[in-house]
Every structure is written in C-alpha cells, then in structure tokens.
Chain A
Amino acid sequence: MLLRLVSASLFGHRARTLLAVLGVAVSAALLLDMVMLSTGMSESFRALLLGRGFQLRASPKGTLPFDTEATIADASAVIAAIHQSPDVEVVSPVLGGTVHFPLARGGALSTLALGVDPAVQGDYALEGGRDPRGDHEIVANRELLARAGARVGDSLTVAGGYDPQLRRFAATGRVLVTGQVRFLYLARDQAAVAMPIAALQSLGGERRRDRASLFMIRARDGADIERVRSGIEQRVPRVTAISIATALAQVEERLSYFRQLAVILGAVSLAVGVLLVATLVTVSVNERIGEFAVLRAIGVARSSVIKQVMLESATIMAAGSMLGLVLGLVTARYLNTILSSFPGLPEAIDFFLFQPRAAWMALGMLAAAGVLAGLWPAWRGASLPVARTLREEAA
C-alpha cells in the first residue's frame, strides 16, 4: 500500500520527479568528483613516493629535491655518513644534469640525464633491455629514443657540454643504449637518459666531481623514520632530509587551491542537493494536505504518512545518487585528463582517485541529508488538524 502511494505520487508528477532525480544526480556527481579530487592528489603522490620503498630524501640544505640546480659536494663522504645510522638500509645517490646528443642533421638534442647507482636506483622502471653496467652505457626512455631516432643496442655520441655559438661539443664519448626505461618522477613527455653516476660526474668535469643532487634513503622495516631523518641532518648538516609526510605536506601546500576548491564545491553541491529535495518535498506536501487529511481521517497512522513522504524523498535521493555515481566517474575521468596535462607532472599522478570508502561515505551523506531534509515537511503534513484541513480543502 505504502509503495503504491509513493509510486503514484512520484509517477503522478513525472516531469518534476525526473528533474529532481537529475538535479540530485548532478549534485551527487559533483560531490563525488570533489571528494575524489580532495584525496586523489595526496594519495597518488604518496603511492608514487613510496613505490620504490625509499622513505627519505636528502637534498641540498634548504631545498626540495630537484627544485633548484644546487648539488651536494663530496657525495661519497655523505653516503658513508648516512650509512653510519644502523637503521639505514640503502642509500641511492642521484645526480641531475644536461647532456647533449649531436644530431646527424646538425645541432644537438639536449636532454636531462640522471646519474644513478643502477644496483639501488629508484628513479626508473626497466621496460626492455638491461641496466647500464659501465661508464659507457646508458638507458633511455621512449621519448628520447624517438627524438634521437635510436633503439636499444645502438651506440650514440654523448657530450657533457655544448657551446651553441661555436657549435662545439665538450667532453664527448660513445655510449651504448642498453635498455628502455620509464622514469617514475618525470613528466610523461620529457626525454631523459640515466647512466651510472660516475659517468655523469665525469661528463661534467670538475664542476660535477663527486657531486649528487639528491640521496634517496631506505630505512629498515620498523625503524623510526623521524629519528632516522633527524639523525641524517645531524650527521650531514649540508643536507635537508625530507620524509614522505613532509614531501606530501609541501605538495599539498602548493596544490592547496585544488583541495580548497574541492571542499567549497563539494559543500555547495551537497547544499544544492539537500535544498532541491527539501523544496520538492515541501511543495509536494503542501499540494497533498487534503490527501493526508483523508488518510488520517480513515485511520492511517501519522507515522505511515511520514514514512510515505520520506520514502518519496529517499527514492529520489537513491535514484539520483546512483545516477550521480556513474556521472561522477565519467566526469572525473574527463577532468583528470585535463589536469594530467599539467606541464611537468609525473604520469603516475592522478588528481581524481576513486576510493570506495570515501565515495560511499559522500553519497551516503548526500542521501541521508536529503532524506532528513524531507522530515520536517513530512511531519508538518502528517500533524495538521484533520477536521479543519478537510473543511478548508473542501471549501
């Protein structure tokens, strides 16, 4: 009986019900997108940083990793000092620099080069071939190979310096491309190579001798990361050691705009959804005062009338939320495509990350708030004096 009354009411005003469901769906979609946006960046960035198991990064004092061109001198001594901590398991030095590949058609392909220790590196994932083993071997990503017109197994001439005025290369040598890799922290279209750190240091001459841009540090399982971090800064005052939490805080600070936008738009969409249902239920109840009075007069309990009205709003909210879930996932994918084209953004970073718990919580909150918004008009409709209402409605 209750379901038939609800169904009659909703289908009796098809246009109104359809618009209400659509309105709730768009609000739910926007709310879902904003929940995904508010958590997506930090979660995917955390996954990226922790992907290779390095919990700490040490960079030149006062800088973030690769935020400036500053490097750390006496890298070997720094590695030894960091290893003094019994909690440190692996130290992976990284040196960033530019190398140049002379092109057959003239000019040079200047590209980013990372000097790493291939045995413990955490900067790239091998897609084909093998790691470089000696000073005359490199690995390159797909973009570099395409631009240089090279393949794994080819030999290339590489230079540590290039004077565009004289078109003269400095510190040249031949290197073998031993593998194709995907760099984890570089932008998707950035061409780059990696080579043993000693090779890149020697290409840079005196300026890069025994220098590193960054040290990635893996602590033993169960180690107190904060204690290891402060220990490194005490042993090597020339570096700033950054934990994942600090790095995340820095990123969140820089991207706080998106988080705040997500909170504001999420709150607005929640309010719009609730307001829509509250308005609809209020108007619907006002229109059906006579109907409710008749129901009450023939002995239908007040709670049944309230249940009927609330079931109507719950149906609209449930249908709208389900539609909103689909709509939200589609729009999130589209919005993520837009934001993923940020220059310099690593490929693995997602702005919109679907986390079932957060998504269900947001949609559940919207549905519950919508249903509760219908409670007051439902109570009012069911509590009107029966005789007077019937008389007024008849008049």
Chain B
Amino acid sequence: MRLHILALLSAIIATAPHALPAQSTHQPDRSIAIDSRLADDAGLRVGDVVVIAAEPGALGDTVHIGAITRPGADPSEVARREYRVRLHLDHLQALTAIGDRVHRFAVATRGSAAEARAVAAIDAAAFGFRAHRSRDVAVETSATFAVVSRFHRAIGVITITASAIFLLCILLLKVDERRRDVAALRLMGISRATVVKSVVIEAAAVAVLGSIMGAGLGLLAATLVNVHYQGVYRTPLRFAVVTPQVLTFALALSLVLGAAAGALAALRLARMHPLVLLGRR
C-alpha cells in the first residue's frame, strides 16, 4: 500500500487576492495556483504577484501565480461561486496558523481488493483517524444531486403523462379522420382485421416518425441547455445528456401509445357499419 499525502491542499479563500502594483519587480519564492474564474474576474495571469492573507485586512504573504487551473466537471461545485486557490501544504499551514495539521489524506491502494485491507489497517493503526472509501464519501456528498435527480424524475413522469395524453388524443383524431377510407375499404370487401391492422400500422408509423423528430428536437435542446449553463456556471459539466436509453424509452413509449390509440380507434370504426361511417344511415 502506498500512501500519497496530497502536496496541495485545496483552500477556499474568501476574497480575491490583492494584486500588487505592476511596477513591483520582486519575484517572491512562493507560488500559488488559482482557478480560471478568479483569473478572469481579477484579470490575473501566470507570473503576476499578489498578496494572500487568511483574513480580509490581515497581513499576508506575497506570492506569484504559478498556474491557472480549469474547474473540473464536478456537480458539487456548480452552484458555488467561491474562487479556489491552491497553495503548498506547508504554506497554507503557516498562513492559517493551524500547525502541522491536515483535514484529510487521500490514499491510493493497489486495486480494489486492497481497499478493505487498507481501511482496516488505517482504522486499527491510526488512533483518532477514520478511513472512508471514496465511494462512501461520494454517496454522502452527492445527496444534493440525489434530491435533484428525484425531482427530475417526478417532473419527467408529469411531462410523460402530459405527452402520452396528447399523443393519444392526436392519434384518436387522426384515425377518426379516416372513417370514410375505412368505410370504402370495408365496402370493397377488405376484412375488419386487415382494416384494423392497417390503421394500427399507420398510427404506429406516425408515432415513430414524430418520436424521431422529437428526438432531433431533444438533441438540439440538450445542446442549447449545455451551451447556456456551461456559460452561466463556467464549468465543463454537461447538464443535459440524451443517452441511447432515453431515446429507446421515448421511441418505445410513443410506439406503444401510438399502436394502442390506433387499435382503440380502429376497433371502434371497424365495428360500425360502413354506411354509418359514410353518414348514409
């Protein structure tokens, strides 16, 4: 088992570092990394010299910006507007006067089999420590997204219900419009079963065609949503993803609904006398 102590500790600095006057020629030894949002907002670049302090107005350290980092596609950071500044661990410890302390260690194990052994070994050996699996931590920290996901599912059920009723209604009307054609076919001697089949196939085809167009519209909407929210939240995170499962579900649902609506309407028409359908009786 290898222990990797993070050399860098992420720190959220409440205020933007104060930029020193441009004519300052002294290049301090210590460097920090800032995130691209802070760089954009404060107009900072690699090599700029700034002063960082643990508290607003307190005396701080003069450092130079050694790197600008891109925000990761982490959903937990999307709504947070804090800037992130990364310092060397000993530098942050000195700046915040917390001594030789860290909040956590990240530990890499040799494969998943070693995970349990590592957790047990750390818990047994390190008094006052507690080891957690990354996936357990992820479950804890993703509670917000679990809530959002449940909300999306509930909204999804409502919209699917609305669209299902809409689809049923439209297809019933569509089939109802064919009453004269159905009457003509029946008068020509075409069997009821054939008439019903043809209407069901037609309704299903209309539903599938509509779904394909809807899928195209959905892909376009997802692209627009991603472009918009990636810009708003300045993150590479994808907010809307049209997966093959989503497409399959939409297609299957509309096919079933289309066929059901077609069958309902066609059976009703097929039961009626052709002359009634033509309005002659």
Binding site for B on A (CB under 8 A): 15-16, 19-20, 22-23, 26-27, 29-30, 33, 60-63, 67-68, 70-71, 73, 163-167, 237-238, 253-257, 261, 265, 268-269, 272, 275-276, 279-280, 283, 286-287, 331, 334-335, 338-339, 341-343
Q: How far is the CA of A122 from the CA of B12 in the complex (A)?
A: 28
Instruction: List 20 interface pairs A-B (beta carbons < 8 Å), by A numbering.
Output: A23-B169, A27-B162, A60-B56, A62-B15, A70-B14, A164-B128, A238-B57, A255-B79, A257-B79, A269-B162, A272-B162, A279-B173, A280-B169, A283-B173, A287-B176, A338-B147, A338-B150, A339-B147, A339-B151, A342-B144
**Given the complex, which residues of A lie within 8 Å of B40, measured CB to CB?**
none
A167 lies within 8 A of B15 (CB) = no
Q: How far is the CA of A286 from the CA of B161 in the complex (A)?
A: 28
| Chain B facing A: main interface SS | helix
**Given the complex, which residues of A lie within 8 Å of B56, measured CB to CB?**
60-62, 70, 238
| Chain A facing B: main interface SS | helix
The range of chain B's interface size is 35 or more
Give residues 76-122 of B contacting A (CB, 8 Å): 79, 81-82
**Given the complex, which residues of A lie within 8 Å of B173, measured CB to CB?**
16, 279-280, 283
Q: How far is the CB of B213 from chain A (nearest CB, A)?
A: 15
Q: How far is the CA of A67 from the CA of B173 in the complex (A)?
A: 57
Q: How far is the CA of A335 from the CA of B151 in the complex (A)?
A: 7
Given contacts A60-B56, A257-B229, A269-B162, contact A16 B172 (CB under 8 A): yes
A70 lies within 8 A of B128 (CB) = no
A30 lies within 8 A of B162 (CB) = yes
Give residues 157-204 of B contacting A (CB, 8 Å): 158-159, 161-163, 165-166, 168-170, 172-173, 176-177
A19 lies within 8 A of B169 (CB) = yes
Does B154 belong to the interface (CB within 8 Å)? yes
**Given the complex, which residues of B lie within 8 Å of A22, measured CB to CB?**
165
B14, B147, B169, B172: which contacts A342 (Cβ < 8 A)? B147
A15, A73, A254: which contacts B79 (Cβ < 8 A)? A254
B128 lies within 8 A of A165 (CB) = yes
B12, B79, B151, B176: which contacts A283 (Cβ < 8 A)? B176
**Given the complex, which residues of A lie within 8 Å of B172, measured CB to CB?**
15-16, 19
A334 lies within 8 A of B154 (CB) = yes
Q: How far is the CB of A222 from chain B (nearest CB, A)?
A: 32
**Given the complex, which residues of B lie within 8 Å of A70, measured CB to CB?**
14, 55-56
**Given the complex, which residues of B lie within 8 Å of A280, measured CB to CB?**
169, 173
